[in-house]
A and B are shown apart, each in its own frame.
Chain A
């Protein structure tokens, strides 16, 4: 069974080819290169290194969000188009869970964090090696998240390159409960996306057309529009 994993949900890029539960080749990088230009050449490169032709793939796993809207869409568009034209199943994995998987040897609360600008985060809390969901993927202000984390009254392991942005505040609120993974675990790996994908039942090939990103947030224009409608209803 040969898998292609695609991760472009935030600034880091990762592409991996896994054959029968073994990583054959993987790219993990965090450089300023837009995924729109860089992701497709990276897929070509990793497949070439692994000596695998596109037609030999059996399934595709993609990091489905949340994250940068554009980043998520690029990965999903590539994954959908490849899966559809190659007639292979496509599995979407939460980009937060895939990142948390970097810390899945830790037997406690794991909190992956993506910077969502203006003090906001995309985040979740998973627990232990099985990554049991404690707090589902969502969008929040960092202050709101910290209130929820305080209530857990236990050590929490933070993971992700964006933790830097909030670390000062996290320590201020959680004190000794705030812990961090080593920097070498801060970038998402497409091999983890694939590993998580192998645990779910393969969807049908026909389902590919209906695959959509998990933004975990409605578009700003839509939020404003809904607000206006509510105000109008009040008047």
Chain B
């Protein structure tokens, strides 16, 4: 059946790969018992992006507070837990190893097993917190550092069938936002502007080779920069809502079309979206519409499950734990970790 057997499995999960210090308690891989996220966005804003050293400093300040809060909200003690899960990679190395060392110390002190989770597996498994995953499945992962189409035959099986060759979708959003003079993080702001716009500036769609599931967003980003530059030279004002709308239309059209083509070719039973950019209203609506027409169930987690959190790490860790996968006390941060199948 591909489904794993469990009875009241309780996992404490910790995530610190970028700029959120997070801890959560997950029951049976599907139920959020508690979910705590300490965001650092405000501290990084003035720098226009995440500063790794500052992120690491905040993680050390917050880590025990966040874990305690997750236990308190769940009304649980370490004794109630079956395992500790933590993001092992990819991410900022200095940030990752705060969560990892806290997880190791906690696991050691309380005699619990530890499971190291891939951050993108976490983003995908955020969906398991909403409804059971049905296989074969296609996941569109669109985040600050990744843009990938991942085919899953069963739990723990990941085949990356397409990925970005340059910028990630979220990265493109953040860079275009900077061109428009919007504060960090730019994604949600562009999304908002795009919906306020009536007109759209027309920007190119980058399809690459006809049969490719890969993506490329750097050309689109350059097109926006050039457009702004040309308008500046002519002394004309750009219309931010029209630029945002045009940019978003290009991103959404390419993401939707490639996801649809892959879903057909791989004959999947379910399509899911994951990662920060999956919070995008334009993308959600577009995917919803095409997959409703196509009669393939499409799901996307609620907004706060799309950006970094520990609940998703606990969701991914549960089937790993059931499969007998264990880390040990020498676990280290793996900034460039690859998404590998565990079955």
Those of B89-142 within 8 Å (CB) of chain A: 94, 97-98, 100-102, 104-106, 108-110
Stretch at the interface among A23-31, A38-46, A141-149, A172-180: A38-46
- Closest Cβ–Cβ distance, residue A30 to chain B (whole Å): 18
Residues of B within 8 Å of A38, CB to CB, are: 330
Q: Are A81's CB and B53's CB within 8 A?
A: no
Residue of B57, B97, B108, B329 near A74 (CB, 8 A) is: B97
Main secondary structure of the interface of B (DSSP, over half): helix
- B-contacting 9-mer, from A103-111, A118-126, A217-225: A217-225
Tell me if B78 counts as interface (CB < 8 A to partner A).
Answer: yes
A69–B93 Cα distance when bound, in Å, is: 12
Which of B64, B330, B331 lies in contact with A81, CB distance below 8 A?
B64
Contact A81 B65 (CB under 8 A): no
**How far apart sit A104 and B75, CA to CA, in the bound complex (Å)?**
49
Interface hit among A129-137, A189-197, A207-215: A207-215
- Which listed segment binds B: A14-22, A82-90, A152-160, A161-169? A82-90
Minimum CB–CB distance from A32 to chain B (whole Å) comes to: 14
Q: CB distance A78 to B101 under 8 Å?
A: yes
**Chain A residues positioned under 8 Å from B57 (CB to CB):** 73, 213, 215, 219
- Closest Cβ of chain A to B66, distance in Å, is 10
Whether B56 lies near A81 (C-beta < 8 A) is no
Chain A residues lying within 8 Å of B331, measured Cβ to Cβ, are 37
* A interface size (C-beta, 8 A): 34
Q: Write the nearest CB–CB distance from A67 to chain B, whole angstroms.
A: 14
Interface size for B (C-beta < 8 A) is 32
Contact B109 A221 (CB under 8 A): no
Chain B, Cβ-Cβ closest to A55 = B109
The 8 Å CB contact of B105, one of A70, A81, A215, A225, is A81
Query: Given that A38-B330, A78-B101, A219-B57 are known contacts, is A73 also in contact with B94, CB under 8 Å in the complex?
Result: yes
Q: Are B330 and A70 in contact (CB under 8 A)?
A: no
Name the residue among B61, B65, B104, B332 with the largest chain A CB count within 10 angstroms: B104
- B223 contacts chain A at the CB level, 8 A cutoff: no
Which residues B291-341 have CB closer than 8 A to chain A?
Answer: 329-333
Chain B interface (Cβ < 8 Å from any Cβ of A) = 46-47, 51, 53-54, 56-57, 60-61, 63-65, 67-68, 78, 94, 97-98, 100-102, 104-106, 108-110, 329-333
A/B interface sample: 26 pairs, CB < 8 A: A36-B333, A37-B332, A40-B104, A40-B329, A40-B330, A43-B108, A54-B109, A70-B56, A70-B97, A76-B60, A77-B102, A80-B63, A81-B63, A81-B67, A81-B101, A81-B105, A81-B109, A82-B105, A84-B67, A85-B105, A85-B106, A85-B110, A208-B64, A212-B60, A219-B51, A219-B57
9 new A-B contacts, CB < 8 A, other than A36-B100, A70-B97, A78-B105, are: A36-B101, A40-B108, A77-B97, A78-B104, A81-B102, A81-B105, A85-B106, A213-B57, A221-B47
